[in-house]
Structure 1
Amino acid sequence: MAGIKALVGLSFSGVIGLTFLLLGCALEQYGVYWPLFVLIFYVVSPIPYFIANRLGDDTDTASNACRELAYFFTTGIVVSAFGLPVVLARAAVIQWGACGLVMAGNTVIFLTILGFFLVFGGGDDFSWEQW
């Protein structure tokens, strides 16, 4: 039952984050859809972690080179997702209000992705494999 509550909570927070992103694009005073390119970063951000978990060994050492490289790539992807709206706003492609809404959406979505890995990542009592 705890897994279902976590899944519903993560789904709700994902919807809130996407709502912020769409508001930054679709409100009448903003009206440009360039910020939707951050959706690519949402899809790409978990991929290095999945690859590292698949290729890395399951030893409980403090440092694993494959996992550290995956964290590095994931950090670069997340920073790029936060940087894209700032660059677009600085170049006057989007307005600063839209940039703020996209940044809020980025924060909520990436916290949702982190929450998914914290809740369903470990194989303790339940995992996402049971779904």
Structure 2
Amino acid sequence: MPGIKALVGLSFTGAIGLTFLFVGCAVTQYGVYWPVFAMFFYALSPVPILLANRSSDDSDNSSNVCKDLVYFLTTGIVISAYGYHIVLANCGLIEWGPCSLVLTGDTIIFFTIFGFFHVFGSGEEFSWEE
């Protein structure tokens, strides 16, 4: 049952983050939908970690090159998501009001993705077969 509560909580925080993203785009005062393309970054951010977890063996506990490369790529994707909105605001394509809303949504969504990997990443205390 604790897995279900965590899943519901993570779903709720993900919905709040997406609400900030959509509000930043849909406010009639601004009316620019460029920030929606950040959803590509949301979809790309867990991919390197998922691929590394799938192909690595857990027998070596020391820091290896594959883990470091995965963390570097994931960090690059997350920083690019933040930088994307800041560049849009700097170029004048969006105003700073929706930029702040979308940056808040970015923060919430990336913490939700991190929370998902923290709760469900180690298969010791939770199993999908239950």
Q: TM-score, normalised by structure 2?
A: 0.96
Query: Which residue matches 1:123?
Result: 123
* Superposition CA RMSD, Å: 1.1
Cα distance in structure 2, aligned partners of 1:104 and 1:130: 35
Query: Quick check: 1:53–1:67 contact (8 Å CA) kept in 2?
Result: no
Query: Which residue matches 1:50?
Result: 50
1:56-98 per-residue CA deviation (whole Å, 9 max, x = no partner) reads: 1212422021111111000000000000000000000001000
Q: Specify the SS of the correspondent of 1:130.
A: coil
Cα distance in structure 2, aligned partners of 1:15 and 1:51: 25
Cα distance in structure 2, aligned partners of 1:119 and 1:83: 28
For 2:12, the aligned partner's letter is F
For 1:111, the aligned partner's letter is F
Name segments (4+ residues, structure 1) moved above 4 Å.
none
Cα distance in structure 2, aligned partners of 1:95 and 1:123: 44
Query: Which residue matches 1:2?
Result: 2
Structure 2 unaligned residues grouped into runs of 5+? none
For 1:41, the aligned partner's letter is F
Q: Specify the SS of the correspondent of 2:69.
A: helix
Aligned length: 130
Q: TM-score, normalised by structure 1?
A: 0.95
Task: State the percentage of identical aligned residues.
Answer: 60
Cα distance in structure 1, aligned partners of 2:68 and 2:54: 14
1:39 aligns with 2:39: yes
